[in-house]
Amino acid sequence: MSEPAAGPGHSLLAAERISKSFGEVQVLFSVDFDVRPGEVHALMGENGAGKSTLVKILSGFERPSAGRILIDGQPVTLPQNGAAEALGIVLIHQEFNLADHLTVAESLFLGREIGRFGVLDRKTMRAETRRVLDELGARIDENALISSLAVADKQMVEIAKAISRRARIIFMDEPTAVLSREETALLFKQVRRLKAQGVSFVFVSHKLDEVMEITDRVTVLRDGQWVKTAPTSDLDGEAIAQLMVGRELSSLYPAKDEPDVDENVVLSVKGLTTAYVKDVSFELRKGEVLGFSGLIGSGRTELMEAVAGLRPRLSGEVLLHGAPLAPLAFREANGRGLAYMTKDRKGKGLLLDEGMTANLTLQSIDRHVRHHYLDPASEARAMARAKRRFDIRVRDDKVRAGRMSGGNQQKLLLAKIMETEPDVIIIDEPTRGIDVGTKQQIYHFIAALAREGRSIIVISSEMPEVIGLCTRVAVMREGELVGLLEGEEVSEQVIMRYAAGLKRREAAA
Amino acid sequence: MAADTEMSGTVRARRSWRDVDLRAVAPFVALALLILIGALVNPNFIGITNLANVATRAAFIALIAVGATFVISSGDLDLSVGSMVAFVASLMILFMNSGAIADPGMMIAAAILLALVVGSLCGLANGLITTVGRIEPFIATLGTMGIYRGLTTWLSQGGAITLRSPEQQALYRPAYFGSILGVPVPILVVFLVTAIAAFVLYRTRYGRHVTAVGSNRDVARYSGIAVDRVRIAAFVIQGVCVAIAVMLYVPRLGSTSATTGILWELQAITAVVVGGTALKGGAGRVWGTICGAFILELVGNIMLLSNFISEYLIGAIQGTIIIIAMLVQRSLARKA
């Protein structure tokens, strides 16, 4: 009824008490957020804190379950699917929204081409593109194909596109994740210029140093809840890290068993280098659970896929039980007891159209061959065993894998990997997208496997997970192993400092 | 009763029909319906002689389509099979005419062996081009389609290649026209080949790998399956199936020309799709494929026996069938 008064400092865009649920899972709890004209606002939080969801809601790609959004103090319902661009709200996706086969100018005018009588006016469009690019100080040829551009240039094209559509607020989801240091500096220069003209930015970022450098205010989310909004100058990296994690470890995790120092080294990686991973060395002992932490895109998956032989390596050596493992010899590695469990269970882990049994025995089908043909009874016995051992709960045994819940899928994938009876197991994101009860079960499976004398590497973006499970934690950043933490050091604050680049291991260590 | 199922079908279908895979059953239902229609159109249709005739004529496409089921299940496509039939058959007849072996029985055995070897080599070539050469199977086999066809035209110098020795013809004839225990040989061959194929696809490690590779190559790779080897083997199986079809084709006409087997690739693919195998790969249905081949031949037969549709429209009707089959498949997939 009463006109909402323009908030303090006049908000361009404000979100009030925004909540969001996907099905039964609530990911945002009554979050407040606002953007002022000409400010750069950092949105921070751990993976799964709800940053991306909030950004999507504020740019019209998702609808909030509750709460309201105001533009210039007026409550609005944002139009869906990018139509909010008309209101000056632009989201630049992590994977850019550019068609490879178009030129820069064509991309800029995609969907709102200038033309006369249906014939494109290329000259005007090229000239306008040039003008915008010049204004941005970007040295990009307006006739170049998108596919020929460097990542940083693509980002610049996205920004140019936003500018040419008179964007007032630009949301950027981890804009620097794919940029080099120089490219980042260039991007920040442009951001400052646009900011001076009154354009606002919202940065989702994990990089504390960059946040300190470029942003005016910081909002921290944790577990879907608003924690704090403060001027960046009032905070330091330590304080932000504290706000992001500040949570206690619960009994979610089983007791840790530290392996003896003189246990055999089962896996040894020396100087491994791939297109992205730089010179990584580490050792894994029998019965150990070794964690790999780091931000998304820090090269953990690439490293482990190279170790397992799924990805080419440029140099370096992998020793499995003391014997060298050739590059790209995934099948051989499998046969020698090394298993890799992908984080992409739907894309790379399970055949979604097939039943549970076909999935379970896919990797170990040789065990069910009698006189050259498959023995369905033997497969059925394996399935029954796996269901008991990993507590896979389905109402219908013939259910397709694609219709199972995420938790049961994950258990089935773990069971599938374990059917090969490996003694070195690399698990990439063991609990992505599954409920907390199943998470706990999977943690206990992992601990039990370690007690059986198997050695496990856990890659996880959820810090409590590596801390709760692992006796040692390796931290990666931009393709390098920047820290190898043990004992007291294994804490969220220390990991975060390494992962965000505030600290790195001394060369000698 | 029909109204009853329609009324309650949509609501109850999910629970009571859950165990029945509609996509697997659909082609057989269609076949039964066609036979019913045929019987209504012309009483001669339902006779054993006519049906056996239809089945015999469907044998070539059925055999080729069994191979195509492997290729399509593994996520590939082979457009070259029609040309391959002409090429393999031409080489086989040329070899038999060469008189390299005096004894006609031995000669036929050697010629059959040759056909199998040439067929597998043609398949191997297709497989290597698509996997090692990393060329889309559509393009790769479009290329070999032209190559095999062109070689045939060259071998025959634009004319026909005909089996010359009457002795060989007489001896080889029963392979198509003969029957064992009253069942025509081609039908026996089709059932034998299909049974073996079904066994390989459903009960061997290789068959499981074909399904895995076809439904998701990444999953297969991450499960330690040699994806390329599986795909190449499927192309080789296709080549062997073509050779088996040729084994029946040569005694039938004793002659090939540049137009032998034209458009057979489309009929084979239609049979596979009508049979319930998804064109995007994954679960293959060998028996469904056989059913699809029979359906195609039956439609032609019914059109011949009836008077209300010109038989010149057979191609158009078959084209319609593949489109309907795809629509049915998709609607069933959505429900499942």
The label of the residue with tokens 């033997």 reads A378
- What ranges do the domains of chain B cover? 42-262+278-284
Residues A120 and A23 in one domain: yes
Interface list for chain A against chain B, based on CB atoms closer than 8 Å: 310, 330-331, 334, 340, 342, 344, 347-354, 358, 361-363, 365-366, 369, 372-374, 396, 398, 416
Please report whether residue A7 resides in a domain: no
Residue A13, H or E segment: strand A13-22
* The pLDDT value given to residue A211: 87
Q: Determine contact, residues B185/B175, Cβ cutoff 8 Å.
A: yes
Domain boundary among A245, A263, A298: A245
**A38 lies in a domain?**
yes
Are the C-beta atoms of A376 and A463 separated by less than 8 Å?
no
φ/ψ of A172, rounded to 5, equals -130, 120
Q: Which chain B residues are Cβ-neighbours of A356 within 8 angstroms?
A: none
Residues A109 and A205 in one domain: yes
Q: Which residue of B has its CA nearest to A416?
A: B223
Range from A79-93, A183-197, B224-238 that averages highest in pLDDT: B224-238
In angstroms, the separation between the Cα of residue B130 and the nearest Cα of chain A is: 21
pLDDT tier at A246, thresholds 50, 70, 90: low
Same domain? A404 vs A257: no
Among chain B residues, the shortest Cα distance to A334 is held by B224
Q: What chain A residue is nearest to B20 in terms of C-alpha separation?
A: A398
- Over residues A312-365, the pLDDT tens digits come to 999 999 999 999 999 999 999 999 999 999 999 989 999 998 999 999 999 999
What ipTM was predicted for this assembly? 0.84
- B215–A331: do the CB atoms touch at under 8 Å? no
What's the pLDDT at B3?
37
**What is the Cα–Cα distance from B55 to B25, expressed in whole angstroms?**
20
Does residue A429 share a domain with residue A386? Answer: no
Query: Higher confidence at residue A436 or residue B26?
Result: B26
User: Given an 8 Å threshold on Cβ–Cβ distance, is A354 in contact with B211?
Assistant: yes
Is residue A265 one of the residues assigned to a domain? yes
Residue A288: which of A260, A312, A250, A330 has the closest Cα? A260
- The sign one gets for the Cα dihedral A423, A336, A486, A432 is negative
Q: Pick A154 or A481 by higher pLDDT.
A: A481
Give the list of residues 6+ apart from residue A116 with CB closer than 8 angstroms, or none: none
Residue A353 is nearest to which of B204, B208, B283, comparing CB atoms? Answer: B283
Q: What single-letter amino acid sits at A215?
A: T
pLDDT of residue B99: 86
Burial of A406 (0-12, 13-18, 19+ CB in 10 A): middle
With contacts defined as CB-CB under 8 Å, which chain A residues touch B219? 347-351, 362
Regarding whether A188 and A154 lie in a shared domain, the answer is: yes
- How big is chain B, counted in residues? 336
DSSP string, A385-451: HHHHHHT---S-TT-BGGGS-HHHHHHHHHHHHHTT--SEEEEESTTTT--HHHHHHHHHHHHHHHH
Per-residue pLDDT of chain B (336 residues; tens, 9 = 90+): 333 333 333 333 344 444 567 778 888 998 999 899 888 888 888 888 889 999 999 999 999 999 999 999 999 999 999 999 999 999 999 999 998 888 999 999 999 999 999 999 999 999 999 999 999 999 999 999 999 999 999 999 989 999 999 999 999 999 999 999 989 999 999 999 999 999 999 999 999 999 999 999 999 999 999 999 999 999 999 999 999 999 999 999 899 998 999 999 999 999 999 998 988 888 899 999 999 999 999 988 888 888 777 878 888 888 888 898 888 877 876 554
Longest dimension (CA), chain B: 70
Q: Give φ, ψ of B260 to 5 degrees.
A: -60, 135
**pLDDT at residue A500 in the model:** 84
Residue in chain A closest to B198 (alpha carbons) equals: A373
Rg of the Cα atoms in chain A: 25
What element of type H or E holds B242? helix B227-253
Cα A130 to chain center, whole Å? Answer: 35
Q: Which residues of B touch A362 (CB under 8 A)?
A: 208, 212, 219-220, 223, 225
A372:B204 CB<8 A: yes
Range of the domain at A333: 248-337+423-509
| Best CA proximity match to B72, nearest among B332, B306, B312, B289 | B289
pLDDT confidence bin for A496, thresholds 50/70/90: confident
More confident residue, A227 or A207: A227
**What are the E-state strand segments in chain B?**
160-162, 179-180, 183-184, 255-257
**Which pLDDT does position B9 carry in this prediction?**
34
* In contact, A415 and A442? CB cutoff 8 Å: no
A310: nearest CA partner in chain B: B222
CA of B22, closest CA in chain A: separation in Å?
15
What CA–CA distance (Å, rounded) separates A142 from A145? 8
Q: Which residues of B touch A361 (CB under 8 A)?
A: 208
Contact list in A for residue B215 (CB cut-off 8 A) is 351-354
Best probe of the B interface among A328, A332, A369, A373, by most B CBs < 10 A, is A373
Asked if A21 and A41 sit in the same domain, the reply is yes
Q: Please state, in angstroms and rounded to a whole number, the distance separating the CA atoms of residues A421 and A13.
A: 55
| Subunit contact B221:A310, Cβ cutoff 8 A | yes
| Residues of chain A contacting residue B282, judged by C-beta atoms under 8 Å apart | 353
Residue A2 falls inside a structural domain:
no
Three-state DSSP state, A28: strand
Burial profile B214-246: b = 16 or more Cβ within 10 angstroms, e = fewer: bbbbebbbbbbbebbebbbbbbbbbbbbbbbbb
Which tens digits make up the pLDDT trace of A352-396? Answer: 989 999 999 999 999 999 888 899 999 999 999 999 999 998 878
Q: Are A342 and A348 in contact (CB under 8 A)?
A: yes
> CA–CA separation, A250 vs A464, rounded Å?
9
Tell me the shortest Cα–Cα distance from B225 to chain A, in angstroms. 7
Are residues B203 and A373, on separate chains, in Cβ contact within 8 Å? yes
CATH code, domain with A492: 3.40.50.300
Residues A57 and A173 in one domain: yes
* Integer Cα distance of B39 and B302 in angstroms: 9
Q: Which of A421, A450, A468 is the last residue of a domain?
A: A421
Better-predicted residue by pLDDT, B324 or A4: B324
Pairs of residues, one from chain A and one from chain B, whose beta carbons lie less than 8 Å apart:
65
* Yes or no, beta carbons of B204 and A373 under 8 Å apart: yes
Q: Say yes or no: A28 and A151 in one domain.
A: yes
- Of A334, A353, A396, nearest to B224 by CB-CB distance is A334
Please indicate, yes or no, whether residues A354 and A497 belong to a single structural domain of this protein: no
Q: What is the largest CA-CA distance in chain A?
A: 82
Question: What's the pLDDT at A182?
Answer: 75
The residue of chain B with its CA nearest to that of A329 is B224
Determine contact, residues A274/A313, Cβ cutoff 8 Å. Answer: yes
Nearest to A312 by CA among A356, A275, A359, A266: A275
Could you say which of B18, B224, B283 has the minimum Cβ distance to residue A363?
A: B224
Do A192 and A273 reside in the same domain of the chain?
no
Distance from CA of A330 to the nearest CA of B (A): 6
A78 falls within a domain: yes
**Positions of E strands within A299-377:** 315-320, 323-324, 338-341, 369-370, 373-374
Question: Which residues of B have a CB under 8 Å from any CB of A?
Answer: 18-19, 199, 203-205, 207-209, 211-212, 215-216, 218-226, 282-283
Give A4's pLDDT tier (boundaries 50, 70, 90): very low
The number of domains in chain A is 3
End-to-end CA distance of chain A: 65
Q: Which of A331, A334, A351 sits opposite B216 (nearest CB)?
A: A351
Residue-averaged pLDDT of chain A = 86
H or E element in which residue A75 lies? strand A74-76
User: Which of B19, B205, B212 minimises the CB distance to A351?
Assistant: B212
Instruction: Give the model's confidence band at A436: pLDDT under 50 very low, under 70 low, under 90 confident, else very high.
Output: low
Among A365, A399, A421, identify where a domain stops: A421
For residue B208, give the nearest of A344, A374, A416 by CB distance: A374
Give contacts of B199 with chain A, Cβ < 8 Å: 373
Residues A475 and A448 in one domain: yes
Residue A239: predicted pLDDT? 81
Does one domain contain both A252 and A217? no
* Residue scoring higher pLDDT (A347 or A163): A347
pLDDT score of B220 = 95
Indicate the burial class of A68 (C-beta count within 10 angstroms; 0-12, 13-18, 19 or more).
Answer: middle
**Whether the Cβ atoms of residue B274 and residue B328 lie closer than 8 Å to each other:** no
> For A462-474, how does the pLDDT look when each residue is reduced to its tens digit (9 = 90+)?
888 899 899 999 9
Q: How far apart are CA B302 and CA B46, in angstroms?
A: 10
Token pair listed for A423: 């003694």
